[in-house]
Amino acid sequence: MNPVLDLLLQRKSIRAYEATPVPDDVKELILHAARRAPTAGNLMLYSIIEVRDQQAKETLARTCDDQPFIAAAPLVLLFLADYQRWYDYFLYSGVEALCAERAVAFRRPAEGDLILACCDALIAAQTAVIAAESLGLGSCYIGDILENAETHRELFDLPPYAFPICLLCIGYPTQEQRERELTTRFDREFIVFEDRYHRLSGDEFRRMFADMEARRRTWSPAPERGANIGQSIYLRKYSAEYSLEMNRSVRVLLQTWLSA
């Protein structure tokens, strides 16, 4: 198989790492690859913070839904959707005065700018993931960086137009992690559509979750006894405390972005 496709198809989240640090030259290759990622208009609407301070890692291990492995990760990268750099450059370049001369409003970053910057940051992060995989490292995304907005803003001294979109832990996988089975994915028919969106029917949902429901019967004890997969995911993830906190924090971050 094409080695790139093989790498993509074998990739899995790694949450346990050997004590071996990531060499500086390897780290720089990962960061260089991330900076070569596709970007909207070549604006590079993201920034990357390498979290080196151990106390900061310990804090993240608590604030990101109590995940101790974050503190043990040899390399931790925070990806920010970042319009602050361009906004500050606009100010430095005299854009406010230019707008006044032309009798047009000076525009601040808005919702669309945030979404575009989030895309840039996530594309850069995934490029870093694949670069790390190619160098023998494993990684794990931490979406919980979207929680506890006030704490994370203070921890990293984030200005209004720098939005923490994802945290990435990277390190050399333990042997157990290397041998762990891949997680399953939904079949193609439920994910890839032609020309227009397709809403799934009840029969399609039954087929989509048939294998998962069969495996679930072997769980002991069941996470939510008597609940089906949809009810279980709703209770355990969608309406869980961490999910509610994530939505609260995103509202705070969005309000900060729009009101600056």
Residue 76 is encoded by which pair of tokens?
A: 């931790």
Rounded percentage of the chain residues whose pLDDT exceeds 70: 96
CB 16 within 8 A of CB 174: yes
Q: What is the pTM of this model?
A: 0.94
In-domain check, residue 253 = no
Structural domain boundaries, residue 9: 3-183
Among 3, 8, 50, residue whose Cα is nearest residue 28: 50
Q: Tens digit of pLDDT for each residue in 192-238? A: 999 999 999 999 999 999 888 877 665 545 556 667 888 888 988 99
Number of domains making up the chain: 1
The CATH number of whichever domain residue 177 belongs to comes to 3.40.109.10
In-domain check, residue 150 = yes
